[in-house]
Amino acid sequence: MERKTHWAWPAFTRGIVPKDKLHVHLEHEWEVYVRDFPVLVGRAYVQCPVAEVRRELAENIYEEETGGLAAGKPHPELFLEYPRGLGMNVERFSRVQLLPGARRYRSFLDDATTNRGWAVAASIATLFIEGTPYERQGLDDSAPARPEPPLDEHPLVKHYGLPLECLALTKAHRAVEGEHRKAAWRMMLGHVPADERAEVVHAMAQAVETWRAYRDAVALACGVTHETLPLTA
């Protein structure tokens, strides 16, 4: 998970991406995983024979699909408040044409969550997709925590003028994500059989590589190159 970083991300967090290109990023996030994230977690649920793990997954699905624990609305619906608040045409999100690198990443997500058993499906859905390079902090209190700047410092607010009230998904993630991270690691460390761990690690390595290629494609489509980034990025 500490390899889940991308060279172009500072362009998105520092307002370097032109606003008229930002829709490319949001549309791809929506089509690649946001809209279907509850389904991806659900695939792990239906394959899993371990009741304790299923309960963890069911809670995750319930919140993502309904917002019944924290958000008040389904998380995919709240995601659409980002483009709506930025004045984008939300109808575009019903007809996204994925870039080739994005299609390959989505194909990997479908394969990993459908055809490789519950352990791989759960690791990809709950660890990789939801996780960050700061996962170690959930296992070691001395490790760096994921930064949580004030909401008015959120890049979409600070650089692109997103109204604060459109950050409902960000608020929901901050409310539940800590427990989701702990649950993901409880499932992996407590219930994955020893003879399946190598396969899980292999799938996670594939996830990193296909995700980076996906983000490469989106960065290029947004006009971001190594040359456009400041030297301190």
Q: Would you list the domain boundaries of the chain?
A: 9-222
Sign of the Cα torsion 158, 163, 164, 170 reads: negative
Q: Residue 19 is encoded by which pair of tokens?
A: 């606003």
Token digits of residue 129: 């997709």
Are 140 and 1 in contact by the 8 Å Cβ rule? The answer is no
- The tens digit of pLDDT for each residue in 118-138 reads 999 999 999 999 999 999 887
Angle at 61 between CA 55 and CA 67, to 5 degrees: 120
What was the pLDDT predicted at 178? 76
Kindly give the interhelix angle for 100-114 and 37-47, rounded to the nearest 10 degrees.
30
First to last CA, the chain: 20
Sole residue written with tokens 């902090």: 137
Rg of the chain taking only CA atoms, in angstroms: 17
Report the sign of the C-alpha dihedral through residues 161, 159, 211, 41, in that order.
negative
- Say how far apart CA 159 and CA 147 lie, in whole Å: 18
Q: For residues 24 and 22, what is the distance between their CA atoms, to the nearest angstrom? A: 5
Q: Note down pLDDT in tens along the chain; length 233 residues.
A: 999 999 999 999 999 999 999 999 999 999 999 999 999 999 999 999 999 999 999 999 999 999 998 889 999 999 999 999 999 999 999 999 999 999 999 999 999 999 999 999 999 999 999 999 999 887 888 889 888 899 999 999 999 999 999 999 999 988 887 788 889 999 999 999 999 999 999 999 999 999 999 999 999 999 999 888 865 44
pLDDT for res 32? 98
Q: For domain 9-222, give the fold.
A: Heme Oxygenase; Chain A (1.20.910)
Looking at residue 233, what is its pLDDT?
A: 45
